[in-house]
Amino acid sequence: MSAETHPQRETHSFQAEIQQLLSLVINSLYSHQEIFLRELVSNASDALDKLRFRSITEPELLKDEPALELRIVPDADKGTLTIEDTGIGMTHDELVKNLGTIAHSGSREFLQALAQKGKTDVQLIGQFGVGFYSAYLVADRVEVVSRAAGEASAWKWASEAHGTFTVEPAEKATRGTAITLHLKADQKEFLDEWKLKQLITQYSDYVGHPIKLQVTKHVGSGDTQATEQALEVVNKASALWQRAKSEITDEQYQEFYKHLTHDFDSPLAWTHFKADGTQQFTGLLFVPKHPPFDLNSQQQRGVRLFVKRVFIMDRCEDLVPQWLRFVRGVIDSDDLPLNVSREMLQDSAVVRAIRKHVVKKSLDLLEKLAKDKPDDYRTFWESFGTVVKEGLTLETEYREKLGALVRYESSREEGLTSLADYVGRMKEGQEAIYYVYGESRKAVADSPHLEALKQRGYEVLFMTDPVDEWAAQGLREFQGKPLVSALNADLKLQSTEEEKKAKEQQSEGLKGLTDKMKDVLKEDVREVRVSDRLTDSPVCLVVSEGGTPAYLERLLKERGKGMPRIKRILEVNPKHPVIEHLRGLIASNPAAPQVGEWIELLHDQALLTEGSPLSDPNRFARRMTALLTQVATGIPAAQVPPPAATATATQTQSS
């Protein structure tokens, strides 16, 4: 950001991201102009909250202006609307930084997300927080005069949003910030008293500081009647969460949520509660409809902490676990000291009790949403399900409650199912909840690992989130039924004594083949054994104890966290024609060169079906070519030269 300095005035260029954001706001939110007032009042309210908090330890900051309030002054003659607060104010450097750059840590990700979703995605812009720049929805010029608390000098910031802004010394009698909007010709309706009262009541009635609107009053009567300007408190100026629930409408809850989060959409659900036990605190928690664009990168939480109605800190991470980071709201404690620090919060028994209550209320809210509004819960799960499942790996205390909340696709039909519904549909004699882990439904639905399960009529859950394998290991069981991966080597399916005896005989009959396969694949597999999970496919690879599924291995490698690959177990289907033919070939001609090639080809096939990369794709292609040549020409298997020999012969003939 460049700056051109004059004796009294500095001219700065906006950061490139700010210029892009301004363009998006002005061009994308044309049908939502009125939200500018909510945004500016919200910012002013935050400035007042910050000053009230600082004044606890620095009471001298209030000496020039004891009142903490907002003032809204329309001026029809000048065509301006001024929003002024007596809050913390800004220094010269803070004006340049806060109004000329994006301090938000995710600004680059935000702009990338906009580019992907389209510049007219109002909901996404709302997630980022339009804030101060929403002023340009209704104004073609904005002036900001601010004096920081405890400072003697004031500064004026001004811009027409054409790429630059100016900063120069100004006069201001008291601390705080005054934002003056020079309204566009077609936006003069925002100078109307009735219109402003209606917007303040609709969007900002719950702001905990007085919002005073300058109104015109008639005094006297008859010939002596005159008009005068006066400031009139428009809002109730009481914290919404401190009011009785019976006094608050759904619309007021929704508008408070928008004030708190800068979200354009209403929340899916909320819970308003008061604890009067050992600790006394009030809470108001919301579940958003859509995730913020930086949900997976943000470490802080979305709950504000107040103490005795005094704002203490934004996004208090000690109140909410990481796996509930999507929850938004406020907690107001009567027991914490006003000068509480982050270090004190980490060691506070009061905070631990509040946190436990917040978790319980959040889970209860989600349970109620799932029960009463399944469509809304589906929307929630699609947005935040991955985050919720993190709790299964982190919090054993809430394992059963979280297990009741998770949803998965399954082999039964399209759509999501709960574990409770899965258990209710289990076949007689089925002892476990079966799942398969992979990249997508398409990748796992026809996996050979499911063949015997499907044959028995067992439903299989499709786990396709990167966190799912860890989540399943964290959950372990649900309603007494263990979760078992269809990819694991120790998959135990109920068998009759006759079936067990038949498998033993098959293993003995295939010993020559399995020994040969072990020898050929000794560098690649840990063991070769007869399978009871395959019905249609000739082979599959299963995960041995301590191993990780192929999809998870790939994810870890892509993120630079690769680990040594633990050898798989190769299972063979004794009834498959390919296996029977290969067994016969080994019995008649164990030294046939095709045997090793075909064993490796079967192994490559198993790698592909589990989603693993091939070590030598070109060699695999040559093997396939040789096999297709055999089919096309009808040459007996024993007479088809191995792929390497075929390639050499072809090269010789060409020469």
CA distance 652 to 597: 22
For residue 101, give every residue at least 6 positions away whose Cβ sits within 8 Å of its Cβ, in sequence order, or none. Answer: 1, 15, 17, 18
Contact, 311 vs 52, CB < 8 A? yes
For residue 540, give every residue at least 6 positions away whose Cβ sits within 8 Å of its Cβ, in sequence order, or none. Answer: 448, 449, 531, 533, 534, 570, 571, 606, 609, 610
Binding residues for ATP: 39, 43, 85, 90, 98, 105-106, 127-132, 177, 342
CA distance 236 to 248: 12
Nearest partner of 205 among 163, 161, 253, judged by Cα: 253
For residue 415, give every residue at least 6 positions away whose Cβ sits within 8 Å of its Cβ, in sequence order, or none. Answer: 409
How far apart, in Å, are the Cα atoms of 202 and each of 44, 98, 247? 17, 28, 15
Nearest partner of 84 among 43, 30, 126, 134, judged by Cα: 43
In the DSSP assignment, the letter for residue 488 is B
Contact, 72 vs 196, CB < 8 A? yes
CA distance 201 to 37: 11
CA distance 46 to 38: 12
The structure tokens listed for 280 are: 């006394």
Binding residues: 39, 43, 85, 90, 98, 105-106, 127-132, 177, 342
The structure tokens listed for 284 are: 């108001």
CA distance 161 to 163: 6
Reported as type and span, the H/E element at residue 296 is none
Q: Positive or negative CA dihedral for 458, 474, 403, 609? A: negative
The amino acid that residue 215 corresponds to is V
The structure tokens listed for 301 are: 């939480």
Nearest partner of 459 among 415, 413, 495, judged by Cα: 413
Reported as type and span, the H/E element at residue 621 is helix 617-633
Nearest partner of 109 among 386, 296, 316, 379, judged by Cα: 296
CA distance 557 to 565: 11
CA distance 538 to 574: 8
